[in-house]
């Protein structure tokens, strides 16, 4: 079974909203919470044109999700409805070469005091990583972004405003992505931003097409867990266990830098993954 299936829940919620146009701030907050929770957890849904932004009626949108990897096998997206779209635009979520390689990636929407520690570990362990940053992160943490680049890590585009891009026109998406790239280049002059990760994992055809037109490859993930809420702390062992239970050849690991569990568990994650014969690679070494 898939980790989460919530399209029916969303349909019911939208139906209630249509019947009660005065839902107010509480309803808006609840809907935003549900969307953020499910999209981060890894589920898929189709948005109707009535709930989408203008300029894209009838275009199907998805939230990245998959059947979790088991027994060292890669996760499956065969039942999610977006495999053809992902393949058509060359989006990545795991390296199908069969080699025992893994790609470590982080999403950085805001700073919670752990990124410097994460960078220290990566330097000590000689592990490359990709950091997908937002406009807020770049503007508020220029020194950390500069350090990422100086220490050989990839700085990727996670959008400027972290919006639901399925509700935006292609022109609006392009403007947002270009604004983020420009912000990064203010901090890291001459930086090449070659990789993009859709905010909240929500995407549609025009999102992938716009990123490709800007010279960026879309990168999803094949290993993740609920690590985005900084108020939920289980300890470093929990982070290690979550990654190892899903480990498979070619994995793209997604960790959120706001998690204390990830910061505490990262050294052991790296050691345990290597102990199983895996090599950490950079996204720009894909397939090599």
Which of 6, 56, 95, 107 is an active site residue? 107
Q: Say which of 6, 227, 256, 261 is annotated catalytic.
A: 256
* Catalytic residue status for 158: no
In Å, how far from its chain's centre is CA 12? Answer: 27
At 259, list the tokens.
């998690």
Q: 157's torsion region: left (phi>0), alpha (psi -120 to 50) or beta?
A: beta
Can 256 be counted among the known catalytic residues? Answer: yes
The 8-class DSSP code of residue 178 comes to: H
Work out the widest C-alpha separation in the chain, in whole angstroms: 57
Beta bridge partners of 253: 104, 223
For residue 139, give the nearest of 184, 177, 193, 107 by alpha carbon: 184
d(CA 268, CA 238): 11
The dihedral built from the CA positions of residue 247, 251, 254 and 257, taken in this order, carries a sign that is positive
Active centre residues (catalytic)? 107, 256
């Amino acid at each position: 079974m898939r980790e989460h299936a919530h399209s029916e829940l969303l349909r019911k919620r939208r139906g209630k909203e249509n019947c009660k146009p005065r839902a107010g701030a509480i309803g808006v907050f609840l809907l935003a919470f549900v969307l953020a929770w499910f999209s981060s957890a890894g589920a898929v849904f189709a948005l109707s044109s009535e709930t989408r932004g203008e300029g894209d009626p009838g275009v199907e949108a998805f939230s990245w999700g998959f059947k979790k990897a088991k027994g060292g096998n890669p996760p499956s997206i065969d039942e999610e409805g977006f495999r053809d779209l992902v393949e058509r635009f060359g989006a990545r979520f795991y390296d199908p070469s069969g080699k025992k390689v893994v790609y470590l990636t982080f999403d950085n929407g805001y700073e919670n005091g752990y990124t410097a520690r994460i960078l220290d570990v990566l330097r000590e362990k000689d592990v490359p990583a990709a950091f997908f940053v937002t406009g807020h992160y770049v503007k508020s943490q220029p020194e950390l972004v500069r350090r990422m680049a100086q220490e050989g890590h990839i700085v990727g585009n996670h959008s400027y405003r972290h919006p639901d891009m399925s509700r935006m026109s292609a022109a609006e998406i392009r403007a947002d992505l270009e604004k983020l790239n420009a912000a990064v280049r203010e901090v890291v002059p001459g930086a090449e931003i070659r990789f993009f990760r859709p905010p909240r994992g929500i995407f549609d055809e025009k999102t992938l097409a716009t990123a490709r037109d800007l010279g960026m490859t879309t990168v999803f993930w094949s290993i993740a867990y609920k690590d985005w809420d900084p108020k939920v702390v289980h300890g470093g062992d929990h982070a290690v266990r979550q990654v190892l239970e899903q480990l498979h050849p070619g994995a793209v690991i997604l960790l959120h830098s706001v998690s204390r569990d990830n910061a505490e568990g990262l050294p052991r994650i790296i050691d345990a993954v290597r102990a199983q014969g895996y090599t950490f690679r950079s996204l720009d070494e894909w397939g090599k």
